[in-house]
Amino acid sequence: MTSDPTLKTQTPLLMTDISFRDAVFEGLGATPKTLPCKFFYDAEGSRLFDKICELPEYYVTRVDLQLHRDHLDDIVRVLGDDALMAEFGSGSSIKTRLLLDKHKSLAGYVPIDISEKHLLATAAALRKRYPKLAILPVVADYTSDVKLPEFPREPKRVVVYFPGSSIGNFTHEESSAFLERARRLAGENGGLLIGIDMQKPLSVLLPAYNDAAGVTAAFNLNLLVRINKELGGNFELGQFEHQAIYNEREGRIEMLLISRRAQSARVAGREFNFARGEAILTEYSHKYTLEGFARTAAKAGLKIEKVWQDANKWFSLAYLTVA
């Protein structure tokens, strides 16, 4: 481990080797058409998602945050002393600050996010708030293998922190593969602290992804804005509409961009055709039962050690360890 005093102000470790263009070409050339949800989070997408988290319809952040507040002492106890906390998709780190305020003996904190500008701004704000804590951001796609930086203080364990409901963006097979990578990152002595959105009435679910203010629609359409800006696309935004539906058989929300008419769009010199009513699938959001999630975790060699739930059982925060 290094003891370099400049460690906390180094350029973040860069691990983004994804080709946005290749992913768009592959997704729009498929049947049905898709776009990976990980590309939502450019600077504007990250800003819009922060707004989504404040919406009255979007229960996820509100309930998750309250779970953290209600069980903070117990969560910190489970993490233990001298843990290195690595957070996937750190965003604005609002819930993280509760843990960092309470946990006085962390070995360090590694925020990991695909949006470099947003990540750096968040890391800078956290360094001001926690000047004694070693903080090293990593710009990375957490759906691939991630390498942790070295820290001046040797941790007793690594805890991968993944709050919110992002685990639901994966299919069950992808979730198991993701959890297996996270298990390897945490190591045999580590753990995973993960948010799980639970199955609940459609009267709660559907408004959360079709908000009255249209923020989620803007967030979804921003994918096309980004394609236009970064890949020379010519999508007409007014000719696509946001829609979120619930797939009961699969137990998931499916977020879509629907073509309002037959049309074509060019991206980086390549043309893609759309029929009227044709959809681009941009995101899954699976809703779990505890039994179902335990089965997914078991396939990754993990077991649920501890679970915290709200009174309505709308959301769970689970601590996983090696089975």
pLDDT digits (tens, 9 = 90+) for 77-112: 999 999 999 999 866 667 899 999 999 999 999 999
Residue 281 lies in a domain: no
> Residue 2: is its pLDDT beyond 90?
no
Measured CA distances, 200 to 60, 206, 230, 246, 288 (Å):
12, 10, 38, 11, 9
Residue 275 lies in a domain: no
Indicate yes or no: pTM above 0.95: no
Residue 69 lies in a domain: yes
Residue 159 lies in a domain: yes
Say if CB 86 and CB 112 are below 8 A apart.
yes
Residue 209 lies in a domain: no
Q: What is the CATH number of the domain that holds 104?
A: 3.40.50.150
The count of structural domains within the chain is 1
Residue 211 lies in a domain: no
Per-residue HEC secondary structure of 159-203 comes to EEEECCCHHHHCCHHHHHHHHHHHHHHHCCCCEEEEEEEECCCHH
Residue 192 lies in a domain: yes
pLDDT digits (tens, 9 = 90+) for 59-77: 999 999 999 999 999 999 9
- Domain range for 124 is 7-12+52-200+287-322
DSSP helix/strand/coil, 122 = helix
pLDDT category of residue 17 using cuts at 50, 70 and 90: very low
pLDDT digits (tens, 9 = 90+) for 256-305: 999 999 999 999 999 999 999 999 999 999 999 999 999 999 999 999 99
Residue 128 lies in a domain: yes
What local confidence, expressed as pLDDT, does residue 199 receive? 97
Measured CA distances, 45 to 86, 112, 146, 221 (Å):
22, 16, 22, 10
| Bridge partner list, 62 | none
Other beta carbons within 10 Å of 132? 6
